[in-house]
Structure 1
Amino acid sequence: MSINRREFLKKAGVIAALGLGGAVTLDAFELLEPLKAADFTSENKLAAQRWAMVIDMSKLSQADIDEIIKGCHELHNVPDMGNEKDEIKWIWTDTYEHVFPGDENHYLDEKTKTMPFLTLCNHCDHPPCVRVCPTQATFRREDGVVGMDMHRCIGCRFCMAACPYGARSFNYWDPKPHLAKINPEYPHRSKGVVEKCTFCMERLDQGLAPVCVEKSKGAIVYGDLEDPNSAVRKVLSTHYSIRRKPELGSQPSVYYLIGGEERA
């Protein structure tokens, strides 16, 4: 796409104003063109109408969870800041009461109450983070993946305020010194940038499964939610599943199985 000098300066001015906290009219946002996912595709690209994931917690040991988190964070250059306050997380664990705060079952078994639940971006069908991002650094692909262009992020943190799942982290410090090893195949970030799980969209576009699925030894299943013959639909049709905060209407694409029992 070619633009003239005047159009370029207009767009640059909008982004500068946003970064400086200036007042910008609604018309100004229209100057920013919709952001499309980068084309990293290969002939083996995995396609879906809407990607989704099912996590069977009954199949995951603590060692499995540790391996999943390690694999995700190493692949995507997620820094270890060394303290909870500045923690950067793409996939992490939390207790049942924090992951599912609306499910107030006082008689829930003790194991479920205390078990570590894997948590990540829910890749919502109606993602509030996308609606509030002024630069469209956060975008929803046609296949349902909520992606991020971290080079376009201006660090306004509107998406963090909008996300009801706490699935986004902000780099208050330069993350590079906190990386034991940098994966050159994935962009590392700078100070002042928000980041999150991207459903390994770069791997999907290369014909590969998300790394958390690969490391889960079958406990995490992914597939096309719109395909009745997909792996996720087969699991969901035979098991009782729950999602995080479904009452909000964002339609999360991550489902959880707790008991693991198959329905008759």
Structure 2
Amino acid sequence: MLMDDELEVLISAAATSAWAEEPSVELIEAIEQHIVVPLPHWMKTVLGRDEAAQLARVIAWRKCQVLAVNPPRGGVSWGYLANHVRWRVKDAALTELRHRQRFPLTPAAPDSELPELPTLGLHLEQIVAELERHGISSAIGRQLVRTAADGPPFYRAAIISRLRGIGVTRSRAEGLAWLLRGGAARPSALARLAAGQPPEQVFADPAVRNWLKAATGRDLLFFGQRTSENRWNDLARSA
């Protein structure tokens, strides 16, 4: 069992290595043990076990990246991280409950379950690396993904709103939202990576390539509007 102060050690090791695979996997496995597995049962029931677990992983991973740069005065502990994650997952669950009260669900076939993979953080890093290959620096890519994932709710509309709030143009925000959240008929790049599809297959898909072009501003006609470089340059300078 890890002690509370070991979270700080794990974050420091991952950050010092520039988020290399081995220390990142150690942090991810610890997040799975301390944050994801103990999630309250009612949250898993409302959101669905896999949706709740994936949301918790995304929030915890991005919070760890923030803590690596800006730790709280009281220090970093598993309790601090668990409270942060649970409050955000709770918000998502309550939002879902309110939505169901307004719009009762109709019978539908259950979604296929995704495997419990403790490597979501690495999948997000693969998306960051792909954004970099399309012209965005890794620092900006991580900032964008962190902002997009800093829910809840972890829905496309909410992701777009968060990105628009830091000055990202709508077409780029739409592209990033599709990369991370997708839709019922068009799974996101993140979901496909988490399901075990090889990265080369995922990122070779024409739809995913279009999302990447939109996210990096290379496809100026994506979603029917041109992009502005001014806000993007401001974001780059502040990264």
* TM-score (norm: length of structure 1): 0.25
Larger RCO: 1 or 2 (CA < 8 Å, sep 6+)? 1
Structure with bigger strand share is 1
Structure with bigger helix share is 2
Flag the structure with larger Rg. 1
* TM-score (norm: length of structure 2): 0.27
